Structure 1
Amino acid sequence: MRILGIESSCDETGIAIYDTEQGLIADQLYSQIELHAQYGGVVPELASRDHVRKIVPLIRQTCEEAGLSLSDLDGVAYTAGPGLVGALLVGSCVGKSLAWALDLPAVEVHHMEGHLMAPLLEADQPAFPFLCLLVSGGHTLLVDVQGLGDYTILGDTLDDAAGEAFDKTAKLLGLPYPGGRYIAELAEKGDATRFQFPRPMMNRPGLAFSFSGLKTHTRVTWEQHQDDPDRDQLKADIAACFQLAVIDTLSKKCLRGIKQTGHTSLVISGGVSANTSLRQQLNAMGRKHHFKTYFPSLKYCTDNGAMIAVAGAMRLQHKDPEQHTLIRAFPRWSLEQLS
C-alpha cells in the first residue's frame, strides 16, 4: 500500500510517499523559516499563502523522486489538525480533492499522532505500549500509548510549551528565530552552573508542565546583569542555565511517567527532540533506570510529510478511511478524541 502524506499545519509544507512493504520511498520538505524570521514568529496568513504556492509542485517532485505517478497511489493522508486553520485547509483541500479525483481512500491525520509515529520510520522501532514525550513549539505532552488511537494524556503544559519557551528566550537574548538550535549552540559556550534556575512543577506530584515562570526567571536574570562587561559570555551562561533547566524538567517528568505506567520504552518526538543535550540525558537516564529510548532521525523531528504518511498508512491498514465527504480542519483537537 502506497500512501501519499501531506503536512501543512504550520510553517512547513511536507510531502512524502510511504510504502507499507518498502518503507519511506520519497520525501520533500519546504520550510518557511526565512519568510517568518523577519517577524520573529509565524504569520498565519503568510503561511497559508506559501502553502498554496508550494504544495502542488512538491507533490509532483515527490512522485518524480519515487518514480511513480499519482495513479500508482493507494491512499492519501493529510494533516487535519491541530494547527493554523488556514494552513490546515490548504492541505485538507488538496488531499481530499486528490483522493476524490483518483477514487482513493483518504484519512485525516492528527498532527501529534504523526509526531508520535515518527520513530516508526526508523529501523529500530518501538513496540506498543510505550510512554511518549511530545515536545515542540506548541505542545508539551506526556502520553500513555497503548496502541494506535489508544492514547491517554498523563501530562500537559499549563502555559508555554517547551519549544515556545526556547523561542522566547532566544528572542530575549537577541538570537534568530526559531530559537531552539541557537540556544543549544550558544549553551555549549556557557556555564550551566553560574545561575540557579528553577525546575518548574517539580516540587509537586503529577506530570503537568509549566515553562512560563522559567521564561520570566530568565528575563529577570538577564535584566539584573545588564552591567556585565562580557555580554557574550553572559548570554551563553544564561542560555546554558535555561536549557539545563528545561532538559532536567522534561527528563525527570519522563522518569516519573515511566515509573507510573511501568512501561519499558520511551518515545521522544517533536521539534525539541532534536536537542542533543536532551537526547544524551534521556539516553543516560534510560540506561540507569532500565528503559529504552526511541527518537526519530533529526530530519523527522520537525514537521514533515513522512510522519503523516506512516500514520495514515497505519490507519488505512486498520480499515479506517474517511466515511464523510467534508473538507475539514481542526485548529484544536485532543489526542484523546481519536480512536
Structure 2
Amino acid sequence: MKDIKDYHLLQHNTFGIDARCHRFLEYATVEEAQQVAAILRETSLPYIIIGGGSNLLLTKDYDGIVVHSAIKGISQHPTLRSRLICGSGEEWDDVVAFCVDHQCYGAENLSLIPGDVGASAVQNIGAYGVEVKDLITEVEAVEIATGKTRVFSCEECGYSYRQSRFKKEWKNRYLITQVTYQLQTTFEPHLDYGNIRTELERKGIAQPTAQQLRQVIIDIRQAKLPDPKVMGNAGSFFMNPIVAKEKYEQLAAQYEGMPHYTVDADHEKIPAGWMIDQCGWKGKSMGRAGVHDKQALVLVNRGGATGLEIVELCKVIQRDVKEKFDIEIFPEVNII
C-alpha cells in the first residue's frame, strides 16, 4: 500500500494541473483497501476517491486525502468465458482490447475512453450509443464505514445517463475493488451513432469485424479529441442535455438539421458540443483555457492554465448556452 504525504497529483489528472494533496493512499489488493478504509474511519481529514484522473479538474491544492486503486487484473469467468472480472485499477481501454482479442463482444464502441475500471462503474461511461451499465453485472467494493466487502448488482447501482449511486448517495462510502462485465459471444455491431457508418464507408468496410469497429472508434476519437499528454483536457467536459420532446421540436423548427438522439417517446438528447459551437466557442480561448478547435465539447489547458481559469470558462459557456437555447448544460467532469 502506498501512503505518501504532500503528494503531487500532476500524474493523476489529465488536465495537467500541478496540485498537491495532504496525503495519498493507494491500494493494490482487497486487504489493502480494507486498511485504507480503516485509516479513513480514523481521520478527521476530508477525502476523495479518484480513478485515472481523466474526469477530474483540480482548482487548488487538496487539504485532505486522495485515494486511488491500483488493483490490476483481467480474467475470464472459469465457466462463462464471456464474463470478465476486472480489477478496479485496470485501464478501461485495456479491458476493451482484451474483449476484442478474446471474442467477447459489446464493448467496441467504448474504445479509447480514458480512465480506470472503477471509474467506469462510478460514471456509467458511454459513447456512440453504448453505456457500460449494459455490460456491468456486479460491482465489488469495500465499505469504508465497516471494512466489509460488499457486492452490488447492476440494478442496485442505480445507473442512468452518466450517473450512479456511487456518484450520489453512495459518494465516498465505498472503495471499488473489482467490476464484473457480461459480454456477448455473438458480434452485433452498433453503427448508427455519430459518424461510424461514414468512417466505415470511407475505409471501404461494409460489414466490420469487432477489431475493425474498435479501430474505427479509436480513429474517430483521436481525430477529434486532443491527446492529454500534448494538451491537457478531460475529454467531454459537459454532459449532453436530455430535454422534453416539445423543447426539442421548438428548437428543431429554429435550427434546421440540428443533431439529436431519441432517448424515449418523450425525450431527446441534444449534443452539448453542437450548442457550444453554435454559440461561437469552438477554437476560442479565455486566457490559457480554451475550447478545442475540433470538438467544442472539450475544454483544454492551452498551457499553464489553473483549474479556476477552466472553471471560469465553463461558467461563461454555460451562460451563453442558456441565453441562446434556454437549456442548462452541466459538467461531466468532477471539479475539486
Q: TM-score, normalised by structure 2?
A: 0.25
Higher relative contact order (CA 8 A, sep 6+): 1
Q: TM-score, normalised by structure 1?
A: 0.25
**Structure with a larger share of its residues in strand:** 2
